[in-house]
Structure formats: C-alpha cells, structure tokens
Amino acid sequence: MNDDLETPPPAAPADTTPGPSSRARRLVGTVLPAVLVLGAIAGGLGFIKTTVDGADRTVRTTVWTKTITQPDNDPAGDFLKGRTDTELSRKLLPVPEGYALGPDVDEYGNDGELTGKQVTALMKSMGKGFSGPARREMNKEIDKLGIKGTAVRSYEAGTVDLVATLHLMRIENRQFLRSWYDAERDWPDTRKGPKIEGHRNVECFLGPKTDGTSDLESMRCVAYDGDLAVNLSASGVKPFDASAAAELMKEQLDHIASPGKYV
C-alpha cells in the first residue's frame, strides 16, 4: 500500500430536494382530485340528510350560472335522461330506469358541463394561496395536462335512498391520468368496496366506519378509460346499497365502451 497516495474526499451526498417542477406536479396532483369531486360527496350527503329531515329540496344553486352550460329541453330528445348536446355529455350515463336526475352538485347543477378553459381556470384559482414561484410552476403543469372539459350528472334512485354523482374529465396527458388513478386508489381509512366486473382500471371503496351516530354511508369509485377520468360518488341512508352504486359505475363504463347500447 502506498502511503503517499492521498485518500480521496468522500463524495458529496446527492441532492434529494425536489425541484420546482416536481413540487408543482405534486400540487397539481392535489388540485385535480379536488376538481373531480368538487362538492359531489358533500352535496350527496347533504341532499340525503335534507330528504330524511323533510327539508325543502327545490332550492337550486345560482353560482356560475353564466358559465355552466345546461341542457336545452329539446323536444327531439329525452332530456329527462340527461343532456346529449355535447360530445362529453353523451359520454355520461343516461338516467337509468328507476332513477331520475338528482340534486344540484354545487355550481354544476344536476347535469352540467365546463369547458377545458373553465376547468383549467378553476384549477389555477386553487393555487392562489401558494407563493409566486410555486404558483407559476403549478400553472405550467396544469397547462401540460391538456384538459378538454368536464361533465357532471347526478342521479336519484326512486326505490332506495341513494344519491349518486358521475363526473367525467377529458385529459390529453394520459400518463398523468394513470398517475391520478394510482393515487386515488390509496385513500386512508376507507374500506374496500364492490368489484366492477368486466372492466380494468377501476376501484371502489366505502367511506370510513362511523361511530354509530350517523345514519349515512358513502362510496366512491374511480376509473380511467382512454383519455377520460371517471369518478362516482354515492351516498345513502343505512343500510347503504353499495351494489346499486357499483352497478351505476359499471353501466357508466359500459356506456363509454358502447354508447349506442343506452341510446
């Protein structure tokens, strides 16, 4: 061994601090689910509660009424089944037998749609509390998603105490769509829900167990199909009919695959 050789200095530790783009992608990952389920769960639970209490169900929200597009009562179509005047609205499951259009879902109404520009602006507005650099990076990541629009339809079952909301969002960035789906499958404190037969890339889970003081239960399903993110939120009075909610999700995915079957 040659003592004249100097021992090389230890290598500097790798910098594992996330860069601005990485942080921005994580911020987008928290904002997108918020848009996808905007008011759906809370709205459904609130509607069920007011139904049980005998409260007035006729009051409609007026927020964003100038920008949310609503269906026309076209005599050539069955508007009670849901609107069909846009490509994305036709992707939503028409109201099945035994159901009717349900309660308003915040600013969307019970059968509404937002354009890609409107959804993008909504997502960016959620970053107003971040610092300037973080907000700018987040906005860049949002622009990369290529959001084409979102559509919402709510459903009310006539035979069981069940309210459900289906929410579709069209996104060009399919890599992000798959990442969103993987993240949404890992919600803490939830219970495994019913399986959706005949479809891949779909997961359902029930809400956390309650302490027995609440008479309400909820379920959520997430899926992606091509360039579509699909979200179902359902709630009802105990005993909650999870199978009925799961059937709605299955019919929605069936409808995306074969829309003519339900026309």
Give yes or no for a contact between 120 and 194, defined as CB atoms under 8 angstroms apart: no
pTM: 0.73
Q: Of 186, 192, 257, 262, which Cα lies nearest the Cα of 228?
A: 257
* Residue-averaged pLDDT of the chain: 75
| pLDDT of amino acid 139 | 85
Question: pLDDT above 90 covers what percent of the chain?
Answer: 35
- Output the CATH code of domain 20-55+77-262: 3.40.1000
Could you tell me the residue ranges of all domains in the chain? Answer: 20-55+77-262
Residue-wise pLDDT tens digits, 35-74: 554 433 333 333 333 333 433 333 332 223 233 344 444 4
| pLDDT of amino acid 199 | 95
Residue-wise pLDDT tens digits, 189-203: 888 999 999 999 999
**What is the band of 80 on the pLDDT scale with cuts at 50, 70, 90?**
confident
- Count of beta carbons in the 10 Å neighbourhood of residue 78: 12
Contacts of 230 (CB under 8 A, 6+ apart): 166, 167, 168, 202, 221, 222, 223, 224, 249, 252, 253, 256
Place of tokens 């919402």: 152
Inform me whether the pLDDT recorded for 77 exceeds 50.
no
Compute φ and ψ for 39, nearest 5 degrees.
Answer: 75, -5
Contacts of 124 (CB under 8 A, 6+ apart): 138, 139, 142
| pLDDT of amino acid 33 | 56
Inform me whether the pLDDT recorded for 258 exceeds 80.
yes
Segment holding 76, helix H or strand E = none
Inform me whether the pLDDT recorded for 183 exceeds 70.
yes
| pLDDT of amino acid 224 | 93
Contacts of 119 (CB under 8 A, 6+ apart): 35, 147, 149, 150, 169
Q: Of 61, 34, 41, 32, which Cα lies nearest the Cα of 165?
A: 41
Residue-wise pLDDT tens digits, 222-249: 999 999 999 999 988 888 899 999 999 9
| pLDDT of amino acid 42 | 34
Residue-wise pLDDT tens digits, 135-176: 888 888 888 889 899 999 999 997 668 999 999 999 998 988
| pLDDT of amino acid 153 | 95
